[in-house]
Amino acid sequence: MPNMREIRERIGSIQQILKITNAMYLMSSSKLKKARTSLECTEPYFYKLQSTIESVLEHTPHTRQLYFDRRADIPEDKRKKGYIVITGDKGLCGSYNHNILKYTDQKLDEAADLDNCYLFVMGQVGRMYYQRRINSGKKASVDGEFLYTTQNPTLYRAREIAELVLEKFEKHELDEVYLIYTDMINSNLQEPRTLRLLPFERKHFGKAADGTLKKLPKASFMPSPEEVMNYLIPQYAKGIIYGAMVEAFCCEQQSRMTAMDAATTSAKDMIKDLSLRYNRARQAAITQEITEVCGGAASISE
Amino acid sequence: MAKTFHLEIIATDRVFFSGEVEHLVITAIDGLLGIMAGHEPLVTSLPTGELKYLVDGVWKYAAISEGFIQVMPDSSIILADTCELPEEIDIKRAQEARERAEERLRQKQSIKEYYETQAALNRAMNRLKISQKHFK
């Protein structure tokens, strides 16, 4: 026979947690609404930017521009790879953080030499995770001064990050830069994705309408391809980082909302189950008491 | 009516304009540039500045901050950080931004900070200029 007081206490504690998860659900759903609108506003820019750059690169003539430098003289395993990883600031959002960190780990495992990997982690959860990893001996250096939150992405923050990364690339502190973020495919499906930011690669051939490869016509660049790229690439980097931030923030809110909704539902289920057991126990106790009283009365009257 | 081409202006926070225009004038890095239908393929970047386009014989103006343009014979795409109509510009905010930037320019800063502040000042001045010019 389960103890009545024990069950009552458990119901009480579940009710407390239910209040928290429910409040978090409400908050994340209102934040999600905001994040959704900003995502909807930014998405056309984000996708158009990618497709336009792709077509620009198809028409770019040969250039010795800085950001096209593929560092071909450095062997593959000696190249310094930078990863900008966008994670959440807080936990309790289902598998959102877990997925992006697992994906990043996979990318790091693929890299030839962990000592040449540099991580730029946005969001507290990811920072903690990689700090702990360093302490346990697995190396991949994390930039300690790279402190950016993922809450409410702004263009200003994206600009700062882009400038930092481009500067490191110019100084040969990084040879390749990747951006890892969570992409929102639809509201139920989110997937971690990698985008290569640097170096840029010029395309020599494109697919023609009939599927054959043909040499692409070159567009003119005013005043010169180098000069235009000097402006265009920081612009692109900034836009891409901003878009990824918006996308990731929306994903985080979405998965938090889903997780908290699930938690609230299961808390309600548990309370229902427990109160049934509580009532049964109470009924049993009452029945037993009545039996005892009746038994006592019977023995007296005899 | 003159021959038109398709123009898309997309800012980070919205699709600013999408439609047929007859003539487009932009400020590129090395000066003003007029674009009409059938222009040769061209890519150039746009600093903070002014932009105007002709729709049905009426010139429309806009303030643009940093972006780039890809021109094709029958269509053009402008991708920019922000793009605003003169009447949408928040004069008060721009003025505050200008004062803030001027204040910061008086302080000692690193070269990088100096450039950033200058760019911010530039954006604020551009907004003020365009809103004064076209919207009174």
What is the rounded CA–CA span in Å between residue A99 and residue A74?
Answer: 32
Q: Which residues contact B4 (CB under 8 A, 6 or more apart)?
A: B20, B21, B22, B37
In the predicted model, what is the mean pLDDT of residues B86-115? 86
Residues 6+ apart with CB under 8 A from B103: none
> How far apart (Å, rounded) are the C-alpha atoms in residues A293 and A298?
9
More confident residue, B49 or B134: B49
Which amino acid, B35? I
- Angle, helices A4-58 vs A225-301, to 10°: value is 170
Give the pLDDT confidence of A91-147 residue by residue, as tens digits.
Answer: 888 888 899 989 988 888 887 677 778 888 888 888 888 888 777 766 667 776 777
Q: What is the dihedral of CA A153, B131, B10, B100, to 10 degrees?
A: -20
Q: Measure CB to CB from residue A235 to each of B10, B13, B67 and give the nearest one.
A: B67
Please tell me which of the candidates B33, B43, B77 has its beta carbon nearest to residue A221: B43
| pLDDT on residue A9 | 92
**B91 near A CB under 8 A:** no
CA distance A45 to chain B (A): 6
pLDDT attached to residue B14: 85
Q: Which of A67, A170, A222, A247 to mutate to test the interface with B (most CBs of B within 10 A)?
A: A222
Pairing of strands B75-84, B58-72: antiparallel
Q: What pLDDT does residue A1 have?
A: 52
Question: CA angle at residue A66 from B108 to B25, to 5 degrees?
Answer: 80
Both tokens of residue A188?
A: 């139920």
Regions of chain A where pLDDT drops below 70: 1-2, 112, 137-140, 144, 202-217
SS (H, E, C) A173-199: CCCEEEEEEEEEEECCEEEEEEEEEEC
B6-59 pLDDT, tens digit per residue, is 999 999 888 899 999 999 999 888 888 899 888 888 888 888 988 999 988 889
Q: Name the H helices within chain A.
A: 4-58, 96-110, 124-135, 155-170, 225-301
**ipTM of the shown complex:** 0.82
The alpha carbon of residue B38 is apart from the nearest alpha carbon of chain A, in Å, by 13
pLDDT per residue as tens digits for the range B51-81: 999 988 889 899 998 888 988 888 899 999 8
Q: Does A50 touch chain B (CB under 8 A)?
A: no
Burial of A105 (0-12, 13-18, 19+ CB in 10 A): middle
